[in-house]
Structure 1
Amino acid sequence: MPFELGATVRLTGECRDPDGTLATAASAVVTITLPDETAVTPAVTEDPDKPGTYRADYVTTTPGRHTVRWVWTGPAAAYTDVFDVQEEAPPAILSLADARQHLNLVSTRDDGEVRFWINATTRAVEFFVGPVVARSFTEEHQVRDARAVVLHRAPVLAVTAVVSVLTGGVTYTVDSLHVDRDTGEVIRLDGGRLSGRLRFTYRAGRTVIPENIRGAARIILEHLWLTQRGNRGGLAGGGQDLSEPIPGLGYAVPNRAIQLLEPDRLPPGVA
């Protein structure tokens, strides 16, 4: 499961000799490569109760994929692994409390796994209806004397900045622009044309999440939870109402969830 930003990750590695036996090494180094390609080497200690087993603690500072590389000498051994760190405030349609209630979970033992599937559910819902949890996006558009620019994500709450990425390029104030909330289309209020390599910063999503979207999210979450549990048992009345694969999502989304999302489906061509 992804780690929280700012949480401590305990890394463990086993040094084994060529016969596969755990062995105390002459030296042990673990290198963590961060998403920005910088690297850190936290202190390594050997477990006094399990010779040949090493550990290191690292406090996360950057969201994204991290690569872990263990290297030992005397005997020579190496091991590579990865871990993920989620962003500080990942968009989530459902709270952990709502998800646990819907899944009828009393214990907090599976909270990390539940949160993972909440995030997966959010992505699945937004595939159909665009951003649900309001947040900022930044994207660039190459515009050549165009009447309008269509932003990639809708519904759009507000455009907060439009700047040229080229020195001396035209920059537009947000007060001089109009944005269509549902389609993401941006035009000039004076009827003029837009030109240049422009970077748009804007907020998209919903300030109030409708019941049909929240209901669909619960159905998708329950379905994903059931399918990943395998033989460990499921929930009463699980939604296995799949008749055909969904383009882009296969069988991940039950049809009744799609039906709930239909009133808010994005128009063709809008991401």
Structure 2
Amino acid sequence: MPFDLGATARLTAECRDPDGTPATAATATVTIGLPDGTTASPVATEGDTGEYTADYVTAQAGRHTVRWVFTGPAHAYTDMFDVRPSTSTAIMSLAEAKKHLTMVTDDDDDEVRHWVDATTQCVEYFVGPVVVRTVTERHTADRVSCIALRERPALELVSVAGVLTGGMSYEPDTLSLDGDTGLVSLLGGGILRGPLDVTYRAGRRIVTANITGAARIILQHLWRTRQGPGRPQMGVGDFDVTEPIPGLGYAIPNRAMQLLNPDNTGPGMA
């Protein structure tokens, strides 16, 4: 499961000889590939024979690769782990999710957080960003009257900067933003000259009950997949799924779709 940014990732590996027996290595090195392309090499220590650990304090969000290399005997192991950003975009808290799933222990907290993240992506597929976040996009259109931001609802422009050397940049207070459509144009009319890097804030300052209600239904629907193999079952009341949704399959029950329809502006719009 992903680590939170700043948490210590304890990495583990076993060194085995060609017969598969745990063995103490002459050397043990671990190399972590960071999301920005750099690497880190925490110190590896041996506990029981052949069992090695290395602690790494996470400093970047994103996918990390892990490569263990042992000599004397020669052995290697490759793994990975993810690190969450410091700012959460989850549609509900862990406490809220556990309450809805009627969970009273901490045993499955990491897995619940995983499914909350999956639920958030499902909901935002239909209604756009829910939790407010800062987005930067490049728009290549030149000499146009407006550009359309990709994440909606859009709340405010932060900066609009020209990409090319000497290119035109615009102050946010000289521009008009339609938050629902994401259209950006000059207040006084005229032509925008690009390409432009647009930074803006998108999301919902108030998350309505139909969105949070749909999220709870989707979470419970996805959580039920832990109870057995295969896709979520159909024909179980509030969790009926009449047909698969392009890009999401059977992840969205009919009842959740009905709740999301009033705010349906994303690629999943019917």
Q: TM-score, normalised by structure 2?
A: 0.94
2:48 is equivalent to residue 44 of structure 1: no
Tell me if the contact between 2:125 and 2:268 (Cα under 8 Å) persists in the aligned partners. Answer: no
2:165 is equivalent to residue 167 of structure 1: yes
Tell me if the contact between 1:223 and 1:238 (Cα under 8 Å) persists in the aligned partners. Answer: no
Whole-Å separation in 2 of the counterparts to 1:68 and 1:249: 30
What letter is aligned with 1:217?
Answer: A
Match of 2:31 in 1: 31
Whole-Å separation in 2 of the counterparts to 1:266 and 1:3: 32
Whole-Å separation in 1 of the counterparts to 2:264 and 2:130: 12
How far apart are residue 144 of structure 1 and its match?
Answer: 1.8
How far apart are residue 248 of structure 1 and its match?
Answer: 1.1
Change (3 A) 1:207 1:4: same
Tell me if the contact between 1:136 and 1:203 (Cα under 8 Å) persists in the aligned partners. Answer: yes
Equivalences for residues 194-213 of structure 1 within 5 A: 194-213=192-211
Q: Deviations over 1:218-241 (max 9, x none)?
A: 00000111113328xx9xx78430
Whole-Å separation in 2 of the counterparts to 1:9 and 1:261: 37
Tell me if the contact between 2:136 and 2:199 (Cα under 8 Å) persists in the aligned partners. Answer: yes
Tell me if the contact between 1:46 and 1:54 (Cα under 8 Å) persists in the aligned partners. Answer: yes
Q: Deviations over 1:147-173 (max 9, x none)?
A: 110001100101111010111111111
Match of 2:71 in 1: 73
2:140 is equivalent to residue 147 of structure 1: no
Secondary structure in 1 aligned to 2:29?
strand
Q: TM-score, normalised by structure 1?
A: 0.94
Equivalences for residues 228-247 of structure 1 within 5 A: 228-230=226-228, 239-247=238-246
How far apart are residue 96 of structure 1 and its match?
Answer: 1.1
Match of 2:181 in 1: 183
Secondary structure in 2 aligned to 1:195?
coil
Tell me if the contact between 2:129 and 2:151 (Cα under 8 Å) persists in the aligned partners. Answer: yes
What letter is aligned with 1:110?
Answer: D
Q: Structure 2 unaligned runs (5+)?
A: none
How far apart are residue 257 of structure 1 and its match?
Answer: 0.4
Secondary structure in 2 aligned to 1:146?
coil
Match of 1:192 in 2: 190
Change (3 A) 1:70 1:267: closer
Whole-Å separation in 2 of the counterparts to 1:268 and 1:35: 28
Q: Deviations over 1:174-222 (max 9, x none)?
A: 1111111111011111111111110100011100000000000000000
How far apart are residue 143 of structure 1 and its match?
Answer: 2.0
Whole-Å separation in 2 of the counterparts to 1:112 and 1:133: 20
Change (3 A) 1:208 1:81: same
Match of 2:261 in 1: 262
Whole-Å separation in 1 of the counterparts to 2:66 and 2:227: 29
RMSD: 1.7
Q: Which runs of 4+ in 1 moved over 6 A?
A: 267-270
Q: Structure 1 unaligned runs (5+)?
A: none
State the identity %. Answer: 58
